């Protein structure tokens, strides 16, 4: 039997095409980010160009002028941030289909590789979409107050959006669908003259429910973890706000799983897979982001180390060498602490790992023996079928 294997060149072309399309998709959230920041009045005429493009737009910034529609002093000043959160949701929803198509195009050999590639694509796009405005305010504008306002707006709006789209909206759609189904059944029964048992068994309604998927739940929690850790020094209360939002979403998910979705199937797994690696990346990145925020974008160190700060140097954008050295020392110290924690954490003993590996190997050998011992039966049509023993794996070959 000949097995067809795709060449490395063809696979590399598929990966290159997927990368190019993904990078092109990032242009849309980047462009709208500057539109939102102009509507909020965050970008000044002296702002630097990005990729050779001027990011300040006079007509859009006029909406944030005093007395205008999006005056920051009025309640309408929060509308651009809320609208930005809504656009982020729509872009993420649209990119989901693009990511699935690109992952299918890459033609991975195993389902695990396919799932990991899809996870990385969607995380990178949604992380860029959600964090790019915060990074621009934090490290380009260096305005912690505006960063805090933007963070609270995006975080709160996203939490409300999750509850509404995952529980309230599906409930309304489900009740509307059931009402239409009941009206159609009543009309059909009336046409039949009342004959026939129009009733259904109690379990038939569950088939009409949506299948539960936990992919988006994992992704939302990882993105939320990034909100909390990457900008912890700018908004320390983000963790408390996340705890409150997760408490509300806990009951929302409980209601969704109990009444709006089919009973989920939970296979036995040893961990959360690629999601754990993404959380680890966020933890490492948060060391750098918070160190830079504390040293350069805020005045948190000035009262503690006034001898290292010079107001004249800060006005012209220069930073004393002492602050830079302190930043590097703190960053390296935290990285070493993280590495030491990874090394010193207790792991399964060696005999446990060997026992588990031996059991897995023995199970694989037993499965192979059952496949080799399976009798071969020829059908009248010329097909060759391997009869599978009771309790063994295997299947049929043609």
Confidence of residue 1 (pLDDT cuts 50, 70, 90): low
Does the pLDDT at position 146 exceed 80?
A: yes
Confidence of residue 156 (pLDDT cuts 50, 70, 90): confident
Confidence of residue 8 (pLDDT cuts 50, 70, 90): confident
- pLDDT score at 193: 61
- pLDDT score at 163: 74
- pLDDT score at 208: 66
Segment 18-43 shows an average pLDDT of 89
* Nearest Cα to Cα of residue 262 among 216, 210, 203: 210
State the first-to-last Cα distance of the chain, in angstroms, to the nearest integer: 11
Most confident of 73-77, 161-165, 339-343, 358-362: 358-362
Segment 58-79 shows an average pLDDT of 84
Confidence of residue 311 (pLDDT cuts 50, 70, 90): low
Only one residue has tokens 């920041």, namely 37
Computed over every residue of the chain, the mean pLDDT equals 79
* Nearest Cα to Cα of residue 318 among 327, 310, 307: 310
Does the pLDDT at position 118 exceed 90?
A: yes
Q: What is the DSSP letter of 12?
A: H
Segment 369-387 shows an average pLDDT of 59
- pLDDT score at 307: 64
Spatial distance between the Cα atoms of 124 and 102, rounded to a whole number of angstroms = 14
Does the pLDDT at position 85 exceed 50?
A: yes
Does the pLDDT at position 5 exceed 70?
A: no
* Nearest Cα to Cα of residue 231 among 131, 334, 125, 304: 131
Confidence of residue 375 (pLDDT cuts 50, 70, 90): low
- pLDDT score at 102: 93
Segment 282-301 shows an average pLDDT of 83
Confidence of residue 280 (pLDDT cuts 50, 70, 90): very high
Name 378's bridge partners.
384
Q: What is the pLDDT of residues 242-259, one digit of tens each?
A: 888 888 888 877 877 777
- pLDDT score at 313: 52
The secondary structure of 101-159 as a DSSP string is: HHHHHH--SSHHHHHHHHHHHHHHHHHHHHHHHHHIIIIII--HHHHHHHHHHHHHHHH
Q: What is the pLDDT of residues 88-102, one digit of tens each?
A: 888 988 999 999 999
Segment 283-290 shows an average pLDDT of 90
Distances (CA, A) of 58 to 28, 45, 46, 302: 20, 8, 12, 35
Confidence of residue 334 (pLDDT cuts 50, 70, 90): confident
Which two tokens mark 365?
């050998």
Plot region of 194 (φ>0 → left; ψ -120 to 50 → alpha; else → beta): left
Q: What is the pLDDT of residues 211-238, one digit of tens each?
A: 777 888 889 899 999 989 998 888 888 8
Q: What is the pLDDT of residues 182-217, one digit of tens each?
A: 777 777 777 766 554 444 444 455 666 777 778 888
CB 80 within 8 A of CB 36: yes
CB 147 within 8 A of CB 138: yes
Does the pLDDT at position 119 exceed 80?
A: yes
Q: Please, how many CA atoms are within 13 Å of residue 373, restricted to the half-sphere of its CB?
A: 10
CB 218 within 8 A of CB 272: yes
More confident residue, 394 or 348: 348
Does the pLDDT at position 370 exceed 70?
A: yes
Does the pLDDT at position 332 exceed 80?
A: yes
CA dihedral 378, 380, 382, 383 (to 10 degrees): -60
Spatial distance between the Cα atoms of 143 and 155, rounded to a whole number of angstroms = 18
- pLDDT score at 21: 93
Spatial distance between the Cα atoms of 61 and 70, rounded to a whole number of angstroms = 9
- pLDDT score at 292: 84
């Amino acid at each position: 039997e000949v097995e067809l294997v795709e060449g490395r060149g063809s696979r590399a072309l598929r990966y290159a095409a997927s990368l190019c399309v993904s990078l092109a998709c990032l242009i849309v959230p980047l462009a709208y980010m500057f539109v939102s920041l102009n509507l909020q009045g965050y970008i000044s005429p002296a702002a630097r160009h990005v990729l050779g493009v001027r990011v300040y737009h006079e007509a859009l910034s006029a909406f944030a002028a005093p007395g205008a529609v999006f005056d920051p002093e009025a309640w309408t000043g929060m509308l651009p941030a809320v609208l930005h959160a809504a656009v982020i949701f729509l872009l993420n929803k649209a990119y989901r289909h693009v990511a699935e198509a690109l992952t299918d195009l890459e033609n991975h050999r195993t389902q695990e590789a396919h799932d990991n590639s899809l996870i990385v694509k969607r995380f990178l796009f949604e992380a860029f979409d959600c964090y790019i405005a915060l990074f621009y305010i934090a490290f380009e504008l260096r305005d912690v107050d505006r960063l805090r306002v933007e963070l609270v707006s995006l975080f709160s709006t996203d939490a409300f959006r999750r509850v509404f789209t995952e529980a309230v909206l599906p409930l309304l759609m489900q009740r509307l669908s059931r009402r239409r189904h009941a009206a159609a059944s009543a009309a059909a029964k009336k046409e039949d003259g009342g004959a026939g048992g129009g009733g259904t068994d109690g379990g038939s309604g569950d088939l009409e429910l949506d299948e539960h998927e936990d992919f988006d739940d994992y992704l939302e929690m990882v993105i939320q973890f990034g909100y909390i850790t990457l900008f912890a020094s700018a908004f320390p209360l983000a963790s408390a706000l996340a705890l409150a939002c997760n408490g509300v979403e806990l009951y929302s998910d409980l209601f969704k799983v109990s009444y709006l979705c089919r009973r989920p199937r939970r296979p036995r797994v040893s961990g959360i897979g690629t999601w754990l690696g993404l959380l680890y990346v966020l933890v490492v990145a948060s060391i750098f982001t918070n160190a830079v925020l504390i040293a350069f974008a805020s005045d948190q160190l000035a009262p503690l180390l006034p001898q290292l700060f010079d107001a004249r140097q800060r006005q012209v954008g220069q930073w004393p060498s002492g602050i830079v050295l302190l930043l590097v020392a703190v960053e390296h110290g935290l990285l070493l602490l993280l590495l030491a924690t990874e090394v010193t954490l207790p792991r399964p003993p060696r005999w446990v790992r060997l026992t588990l590996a031996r059991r897995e190997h023995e199970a694989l050998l037993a499965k192979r023996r059952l496949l080799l011992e399976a009798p071969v039966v020829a059908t009248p049509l010329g097909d060759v079928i391997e009869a599978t023993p009771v309790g063994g794996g295997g299947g049929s070959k043609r």
